[in-house]
């Protein structure tokens, strides 16, 4: 039997190959490898099937797994090509993959933009049980559901429990930024955002969070400024802030790269944080601690973030009601030397 299977080298090993090698039926192979309940199969037979499958390198096809389980095990994440794959976000995806794997689900990450190809071309090729994305329109969501995709989550265009929690995390980030600056005595703040229209939804979410946090603390309305990526342009923004009737003394940056640009712009003008401008970023990227001075920022617990997202998705896929308790707090202030 070993030679019979070996002759198939270069071809995919099938359940029939495993059945021949173990001396059992294909049905028995399916029952054993899928842990089908209520099957009276001797332990020795189960061991023989598993040993044969391991020796032959057998892996069930996606279609076979779908048939045996009654649903696909693929969770498709549609990654916007413009998304900054910083350390925090990359870690979050890694933790999300691990958390979903514990439930027998496989995370597949695929870059997607409407400018490149229709979303139908991607999900229809994978037959996922769930699709996660940042922006899907009503027709795209409907077509997925109509085709049997059990769960479709669109962060910025849906009002489900996971979307609400994601938005709450963004609010927590902004509140902690504003509170840290206010605690240091700063009242006239600015919100500095990248000049990238593709990040509009994320940028506006943070902008609105900073506006609310300032209002809640009784601070003046913050100045909203787009920050150029080149130092001279960023320095010109600082010049304008300092010349204003009510000078800006504290900056809530959209992210650490934006904050680091402003630190460089301060040096270009012979100024420094925090004396001339207090600066706080988001994400605690590795270079934040190496900045001069080291950057104060907001860190996000990517593992807790991913595990909560996975638990919400798994409950929905299992048909269980959403948890009533709020999601975990995953943000924290990393106090360094720019405030």
DSSP letter assigned to residue 32? H
pLDDT tens digits for range 175-217 = 999 999 999 999 999 999 999 887 888 899 999 999 999 999 9
Above 80 in pLDDT, residue 16? yes
Among candidate residues 132, 109, 13, 127, the one with its CA nearest the CA of residue 63: 127
Alpha carbon of 205 to those of 21, 50, 156, 209, 330: distances in Å?
Answer: 58, 51, 9, 6, 17
pLDDT band at residue 39 under the 50/70/90 scheme:
confident
pLDDT at position 1 is: 40
DSSP letter assigned to residue 199? G
Structure token pair of residue 270: 């012979």
pLDDT at position 67 is: 47
The Cα 291–Cα 263 span in angstroms is 8
Residue range 288-299: mean pLDDT, rounded: 98
pLDDT tens digits for range 309-327 = 999 999 988 888 877 777 8
Q: Which of 17-26, 88-97, 287-296 has the highest mean pLDDT?
A: 287-296
Burial class (CB in 10 A: 0-12, 13-18, 19+), 91: middle
Q: Name, in order, each residue with C-beta under 8 angstroms of 195's C-beta and a sequence gap of 6 or more.
A: 226, 227, 228, 229
The Cα 214–Cα 227 span in angstroms is 20
Structure token pair of residue 155: 């962060």
Among candidate residues 197, 196, 178, 195, the one with its CA nearest the CA of residue 187: 178
Let me know: does 250 contact 217? Beta carbons within 8 Å. no
DSSP letter assigned to residue 114? T
% helix / strand / coil in the chain, to the nearest 5?
A: 50, 15, 35
pLDDT tens digits for range 110-122 = 988 888 788 999 9
Domains and CATH numbers, the chain: 15-69 (1.10.260.40), 74-158 (3.40.50.2300), 164-303 (3.40.50.2300)
DSSP letter assigned to residue 191? E
pLDDT at position 4 is: 40
3-class DSSP assignment, residue 275 = coil
- Largest separation between any pair of C-alpha atoms in the chain: 87
The Cα 258–Cα 254 span in angstroms is 6
Structure token pair of residue 109: 């990450």
């Amino acid at each position: 039997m070993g030679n019979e299977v070996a002759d198939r080298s270069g071809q995919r090993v099938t359940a029939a190959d495993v059945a021949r090698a173990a001396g059992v039926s294909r049905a028995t192979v399916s029952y054993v490898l899928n842990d089908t309940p209520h099957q009276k199969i001797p332990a020795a037979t189960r061991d023989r099937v598993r040993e044969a499958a391991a020796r032959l390198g057998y892996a069930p096809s996606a279609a076979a797994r779908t048939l045996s389980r009654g649903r696909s095990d693929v969770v498709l994440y549609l990654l916007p090509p413009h998304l900054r794959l910083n350390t925090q976000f990359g870690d979050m995806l890694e933790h999300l993959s691990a958390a979903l794997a514990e439930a027998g689900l496989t995370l597949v990450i695929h870059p997607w933009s409407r400018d490149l190809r229709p979303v139908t071309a991607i999900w229809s090729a994978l037959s996922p049980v769930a699709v996660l994305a940042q922006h899907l329109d009503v027709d795209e969501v409907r077509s997925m559901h109509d085709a049997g995709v059990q769960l479709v989550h669109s962060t910025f265009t849906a009002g489900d429990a996971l979307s609400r929690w994601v938005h709450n995390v963004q609010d927590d980030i902004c509140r902690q930024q504003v509170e840290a600056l206010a605690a240091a005595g700063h009242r006239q703040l600015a919100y500095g955002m990248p000049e990238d229209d593709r990040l509009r939804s994320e940028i506006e979410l943070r902008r609105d969070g900073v506006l609310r946090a300032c209002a809640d603390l009784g601070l003046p309305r913050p100045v909203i400024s787009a920050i150029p990526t080149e130092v001279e342009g960023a320095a010109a923004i600082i010049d304008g802030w300092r010349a204003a009737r009510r000078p800006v003394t504290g900056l809530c940056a959209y992210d650490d790269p934006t904050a680091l640009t402003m630190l460089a712009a301060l040096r270009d003008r012979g100024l420094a944080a925090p004396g001339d401008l207090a600066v706080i970023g988001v994400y605690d990227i590795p270079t934040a601690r190496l900045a001069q001075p080291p950057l104060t920022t907001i860190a996000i617990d990517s593992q807790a973030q991913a595990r909560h997202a996975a638990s919400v998705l798994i409950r929905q896929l299992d048909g269980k009601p959403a948890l009533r308790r709020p999601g975990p707090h995953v943000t924290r202030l990393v106090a360094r030397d720019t405030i």
